[in-house]
Amino acid sequence: MKKSISEIILDSLAPEECYFCRKLGDSICKNCLKTRCNFGNFLSQPNTIISKEFYLSQRSGELQKIVDEFKLQSKRQNAHYLSHLFADFLNSNEVFNRNRDRIILVPVPTLSAHIRERGFDHTQILAKQLSKVLKIKSLEIIAKVSKTTQRGANFKTRQIQAKKSYQFIGEKLSKDKIYVILDDIRTTGATLNSIAEILLKNGAGEIWAFYLLQQ
């Protein structure tokens, strides 16, 4: 991702260092990108609604820091590294490659208050980056209709909130396509399942999920 003038100035005053080896330069240096970033997990039939799930790692270590700084500290350039890490994993996965031409990304919408707080929609940025790298289509067809945040909520509360939080804003979906819900972190799965149900009700034939981290 191209850096803004303010980011370039900030880098000159406080240079980036690699999350893994601490070498000055980039958030993930080229060497670590090749040798230390072998992330990726694949789940087949995780439940009756979502048939496949792909994610990078558990929520811990350097990868969690990369995601948190992207999402919570407005470090937008981290979307570039995260999308390439995810793309490397997906490009090596036989199931993904076999179905690549059928896949359409559906980013989970972010709460408007969080967008105002951060100045950007992190999931939307990630979807655009991943769509560009993988050369697959991305559609914003799910809207957030609830102002309630799920931060700190328990499992039961999340399930109830998720069912009331989203609505479909697209046209009738195709049975021949695979609609892939894209999110940053999977905690209970309530958000993914709720959106999957909405997509299925509006014509989708198969639902997958991509997310960065598993809680």
Average pLDDT of the chain is 86
Domain match, 190 and 104 both: yes
Domain match, 3 and 92 both: no
Domain match, 48 and 61 both: yes
Please report the pLDDT score of residue 13 as a whole number: 43
Greater confidence (104 vs 35) lies with 104
Domain match, 8 and 90 both: no
Contact 137, 107 (CB under 8 A): no
Domain match, 16 and 80 both: no
pLDDT in tens, 147-159: 666 565 656 666 6
Please report the pLDDT score of residue 74 as a whole number: 83
Contact 118, 74 (CB under 8 A): yes
Please say if the pLDDT value at position 2 is more than 60: no
Greater confidence (16 vs 142) lies with 142
Domain match, 176 and 107 both: yes
Domain match, 152 and 113 both: yes
Distance CA 188, CA 211 (A): 13
Q: Identify the domain containing residue 114 by its residue range.
A: 39-214
Domain match, 44 and 131 both: yes
Q: Give how many domains the chain has, as a whole number.
A: 2
Percentage of the chain surpassing pLDDT 70?
Answer: 85
pLDDT in tens, 88-132: 999 999 999 999 999 999 999 988 888 888 888 999 999 999 999
| Predicted TM-score (pTM) of this structure | 0.83
Domain match, 60 and 14 both: no
Domain match, 77 and 183 both: yes
Please say if the pLDDT value at position 12 is more than 70: no
Q: Which two tokens stand for residue 183?
A: 């999110």
Domain match, 150 and 168 both: yes
CA dihedral angle for residue 5, residue 6, residue 11, residue 12, rounded to 10 degrees: 70
pLDDT in tens, 53-76: 999 999 988 889 999 999 888 888
Domain match, 175 and 204 both: yes
CATH number at residue 174: 3.40.50
